[in-house]
Amino acid sequence: MASVSQDQIQKFHRDGFLVLERFFSTEECDSMRSQIQGIIEGMEVPLHCRTEFSTREEEQLQAQGSSDYFLTSGDKIRFFFEKGVLDKKGNFLIPKEKSISKIGHALHAHDPVFKQITHSSKVQELGRKLGLERPVVVQSMYIFKQPGIGGEVTPHQDATFLHTEPLGRILGFWIALEDATKENGCLWFIPGSHTNGITRRMVRAPSGASTCVEFVGSEPAYDDSQFIPLPIKKGGLILIHGEVVHKSELNSSESSRHAFTFHVMEAKGTSWSKENWLQPTPELPFPSLYT
């Protein structure tokens, strides 16, 4: 992997994203893929996915249960599924390894392979080049983007979900574990869209509300023609500014588009919103990126 130049760093600040091809080796990608395979083989399908729906009220409690499962996943390794992969009784309509949408949100803390990648010397060196003084890892996810059913991710900004004061302190690292193409759902970005702040936030709902989280504000209508696709080869890394607008389309191809992604916050002079869905816990305070 070539060292990152000052020109590339400037490009990142200008566009709000940066593509670094071949940042990770084929071996590193394959080690993450085989590790996740083992995690899936040992997966207990969460109960809330298996409950038989009956009355409306139970259904609502059901949704509440599953959102709780999401809300408390920040310091654990948990499983999230694509829509429509379970029947009414909670049985899989397709093989479970093909039904899973993502695994989150603390692989970086609990799994040795993902921990090693997240804190690898080249990631730390990149953090230093970007001028990060006290970066901490706030979350990680393995994303599958399954063939044919890997859902679209509508245009969004990561800071909608991971809010800081001031803004501009969140950075995403997105690693392609397989080639990401236009056909299988690569990322699309609006260059320069990280300079306009945010218009929407996802916050924890007050206790007693029917959902665990709610949105404040609204997402503007983005002009499709402004997005540019960023296909990237296996092992490539895309750096994502917390406020840059990006999306991915439905995977309509025959091949999956696995990716490992984690988010870092510059903790120096930054406060993490108490309203964010994700909160550090006594068991897992946000770990320093630098080791």
- Cα separation, 259 vs 177, whole angstroms: 5
- Cα separation, 99 vs 84, whole angstroms: 9
Q: Return the DSSP state at 240.
A: E
Whether 244 is covered by a domain: the verdict is yes
Three-class secondary structure of residue 160 per DSSP: helix
The CATH number for 56's domain is 2.60.120.620
Whether 90 is covered by a domain: the verdict is yes
Whether 9 is covered by a domain: the verdict is no
The answer to whether the Cα torsion of 104, 107, 111, 112 is positive or negative is positive
Sequential pLDDT tens for the chain (291 residues): 568 999 999 999 999 999 999 999 999 999 999 999 999 999 987 777 776 656 666 666 666 667 788 899 999 999 998 888 888 777 889 888 899 999 999 999 999 999 999 999 999 999 999 999 999 999 999 999 999 888 899 999 999 999 999 999 999 999 999 999 999 999 999 999 999 999 999 999 888 777 889 999 998 999 999 999 999 999 999 999 999 999 999 999 999 999 999 999 999 999 999 999 999 999 999 999 999
Are 90 and 48 within 8 A, CB to CB?
no
Whether 237 is covered by a domain: the verdict is yes
Residues 6+ apart with CB under 8 A from 266: 132, 133, 134, 135, 169, 171
- Cα separation, 152 vs 142, whole angstroms: 16
The parent domain of residue 192 ranges over: 19-272
Whether 47 is covered by a domain: the verdict is yes
Task: Single out the residue of 149, 233, 218, 225 nearest to residue 186, CA to CA.
Answer: 233
Residues 6+ apart with CB under 8 A from 44: none
Structure tokens at 149: 């059913």
Q: How many domains does the chain have?
A: 1
Whether 284 is covered by a domain: the verdict is no
Record the pTM: 0.94
- Cα separation, 174 vs 141, whole angstroms: 10
Whether 79 is covered by a domain: the verdict is yes
Are 212 and 71 within 8 A, CB to CB?
yes
CA atoms within 13 A on the CB side of 135: 26
Whether 130 is covered by a domain: the verdict is yes
- Cα separation, 131 vs 151, whole angstroms: 35
Query: How distant is the alpha carbon of residue 182 from its chain centre?
Result: 19
